């Protein structure tokens, strides 16, 4: 069963302030190639390439999951080295999900 995706009030404000298209956070979440757990906020982080501000760049979406829904909390472009720094500091921990895992080859 697919979970319903909902935009938090904070995300809606960020979309207006940063002039980010409304579809972009959902697309980043759905197309994420990397997932992390943020130790500071205790939210999950989805990272994917997206076109924003005339450039293709890495974007992050913070989200939480409940029984039947995903709540997207905030979105912003990642600065160069920002992801690597957060992983190196231990703030972001790589997170695997069942749908992202591939079976081992024997």
pLDDT tens figures, 7-24:
999 999 999 999 999 999
- Packing angle of the helix pair 24-31, 9-18 (nearest 10 deg): 110
- For 52-80, the pLDDT digits (tens) are 989 999 999 999 998 899 999 999 999 98
The whole-model pTM stands at 0.85
């Amino acid at each position: 069963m697919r979970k319903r995706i909902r935009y938090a009030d904070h995300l809606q404000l960020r979309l207006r302030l940063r002039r980010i298209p409304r579809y972009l956070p959902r697309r980043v979440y759905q197309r994420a190639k990397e997932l992390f757990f943020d130790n500071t906020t205790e939210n999950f982080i989805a990272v994917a390439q997206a076109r924003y501000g005339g450039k293709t760049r890495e974007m992050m979406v913070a989200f939480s999951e409940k029984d039947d829904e995903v709540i997207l909390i905030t979105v912003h472009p990642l600065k160069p080295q920002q992801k690597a720094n957060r992983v190196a500091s231990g703030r972001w921990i790589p997170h695997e999900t069942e749908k992202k895992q591939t079976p081992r080859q024997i």
